Amino acid sequence: MRRLRTRRAATVAVALAAVMTVAACAGDDGAEEGAADESPTEDGEETAEAAQGGEVSVYLTNPENLAPPSNVTESEGSEVLNALYSPLIEFDLEASAALAGDDAPDAAAESVETEDNVTFTITLKDGWTFHNGDPVTAQSYVDAWNYGAYGPNANNGSYFFGDIAGYEDLQCQGEATEEEPCPEPPTVEELSGLTVVDDLTFEVELSAPNVFFPLVLGYSAFHPLPQAFFDDPEAFNDAPIGQGPFQVDEEGWVRDQQVRVERYEDYAGTQPNVDAIEYRIYQDIDSGYNDALAGNLDIMDSIPSAQIESAAQDFPTFIDQESSTIQFIGFPLYDERFQDPVLRQAFSLAVDRQAIADAVRPDFAPLNGFVPAAVPGALDDECGGNCPPTADPERAAQLLEEAGGWEGPLVIWFNQGGDHEGWVEAVANQLRENLGIEDIQFESLQFAEYLPLLDEQQVTGPWRLGWVPDYPNPNTYLESLHATDGSSNNSGYSNEEFDALIAEAKAAETSEESLPFFEEAQLLLNEDMPIMPMFVARQVGIAGERVSGMEITFEDDIDVFKISVTE
């Protein structure tokens, strides 16, 4: 994402904590976690107490993958993995720190220790098991990370292992083609930086210092794998076996229909309140919302923007809270028509973000930089003036002329099912009006079809994407989206100076000392504009009468431990 104004750590802590705040939740009397919901109704009667057990249904669109975790880098698959796995560490949002041991009952790590930010010793909690009963060991993590890092496996999240020593040796060489994606396979299959010490301990050696590495361990790519995955990866994708609070039921992932998970009774962490969650797959958000109105769907962590005002009245639980999720429009820099940064600046200046938010998406606010303001190190300079909240048509037209103008049709890409049609069309209308580009067309696909085209650089025009932070630090926006080998650098942006600044930020001794390097990195993005920052989203969700305790996490997932079924 992007950098904005530098802030002191105490201020940052408050901003990050606000991400978790439920701004409006009918029937919430502030009871402590796990307490029954006994809020009085209008006539003075108490509502039903939250019951242990029962099943809830949750809105979902089709995931791209469910396994291995290192190949799940999109929101829908991550939502399911949130129930199936427990991370190595939990996030302390107030301190932007990693928690383990007794401070994090649902983290798998007992401790993560280092003296130099290069070599980390990870000790696991004892007694944890996979859903098939196999013990979770240090080898379970090392095997999973080696698989994710191995180039020929082409895992979407492979890049997350890039800091570990030996990563480059596991990558394919030669020029990849569609027919031959790995012309010269690597000669080794294991990361030299991973060493199993004993059943519950392993060491990780990085190729360079990374002060953020303990935070990164909270991301889903670092989940462990049992032997069952390696025996049959395809079957495992249909029915993943994790070590978290829920396990997939006997039907597994039923494409286009559901993923149903059941409470894992031998889970070593905190037992959830409900017996089962049915992640119900919809093709579009309006169908899901209509089912929720009819009482046929319990929970949605996003709703159609046109329904936000009425939803607060129509549902007993309505959540409207700050988010660090951003929406942006990327440019295919691998297409020569988009290689001039002046043209990209012209496009950005032609769009009135505030007008679109006001008229089309009341759950959006203009994003005036490459990192949302709630994240440490944000710069309050509106992308150097290149992505202001309101359009600058005169400047936009001037820059487009300097860049040689635009000829032919313009195709804008976006995914279906996420309520994006309206605001993407509004962007197109403003490009027509302010830049005179009359022939604008659209390509929209289901999310599971859309992402591979982005990854394979087959998108032929500007494209919409959102970004949910993987951990509470600016690097999750900057390196992942814009570094040359960034895990989600779909634009093809590459700037050696930018990459060097990211490396210096990671080599800093403390997170605060890294902020000046992140600021300089954003200044480069201000000029290069590989993407158009568009909006920072508010997280808006609803729950029906059957459900209490709904909360949405920092990663914009349903908190599976908090929800309960009311009697």
Q: Residue 494 belongs to a domain with what CATH number?
A: 3.10.105.10
Decide which of 226, 245, 260 is a domain's last residue: 226
Q: Are 374 and 3 in contact (CB under 8 A)?
A: no
Q: Which residues pair with 543 in a beta bridge?
A: 299, 317
Q: What is the pLDDT along the chain (567 residues), one digit of tens a residue?
A: 222 222 222 223 333 333 332 333 323 333 333 333 333 333 334 444 555 799 999 999 999 999 999 999 888 999 999 999 999 999 988 777 899 999 999 999 999 999 999 999 999 999 999 999 999 999 999 999 999 999 999 998 898 999 999 999 999 999 888 789 999 999 999 999 999 999 999 999 999 999 999 999 999 999 999 999 999 999 999 999 999 999 999 999 999 999 999 999 999 999 999 999 999 999 999 999 999 999 999 999 999 988 998 999 999 999 998 888 899 999 999 999 999 999 999 999 999 999 999 999 988 999 989 998 878 777 777 788 999 999 999 999 999 999 999 999 999 999 987 789 999 999 999 999 999 999 999 999 988 789 889 988 999 999 999 998 888 889 999 998 999 988 789 999 999 999 999 999 999 998 889 989 999 999 999 999 999 999 998 889 999 999 999 999 888 899 999 999 996
Q: What is the DSSP string of 60-105?
A: E---S--SSGGG--SHHHHHHHHHH---SSEEETTTTEEE-GGG-T
Range of the domain at 192: 80-226
The residues, ordered by sequence, that sit 6+ positions from 336 with a Cβ below 8 Å of its Cβ are: none
Residue 304 within a domain: no
Q: Are 117 and 130 in contact (CB under 8 A)?
A: no
Domain of 192: which CATH number?
Answer: 3.90.76.10
Q: What CA–CA distance (Å, rounded) separates 458 from 236? A: 29
Q: Are 206 and 191 in contact (CB under 8 A)?
A: no
- Crossing angle (nearest 10°) for helices 496-507 and 511-528: 170
Tell me the pairing of strands 463-467 and 317-330. antiparallel
Residue 257 within a domain: no
Residue 466 within a domain: yes
Q: What CA–CA distance (Å, rounded) separates 464 from 423? A: 10
Query: In this structure, are 509 and 363 located in the same domain?
Result: yes
Residue 263 within a domain: no
Decide which of 194, 226, 258 is a domain's last residue: 226
Residue 241 exposure: Cα atoms within 13 Å on the Cβ side: 22
Residue 234 within a domain: no
Judged by phi (left if over 0) then psi (alpha if -120 to 50, else beta), residue 457 lies in left
Q: Are 288 and 279 in contact (CB under 8 A)?
A: no
Residue 36 within a domain: no
- Crossing angle (nearest 10°) for helices 475-482 and 496-507: 150
Task: Specify the residue for token string 């990195």.
Answer: 521
Phi, psi (degrees; rounded to nearest 5) at 431: -65, -35
Q: Of the candidates 248, 207, 74, 228, which has an alpha carbon nearest to the alpha carbon of residue 144?
A: 228
Residue 276 within a domain: no
Decide which of 179, 204, 226 is a domain's last residue: 226
Q: Are 521 and 505 in contact (CB under 8 A)?
A: yes
Q: What CA–CA distance (Å, rounded) separates 211 from 215? A: 9
Domain count for the chain: 2
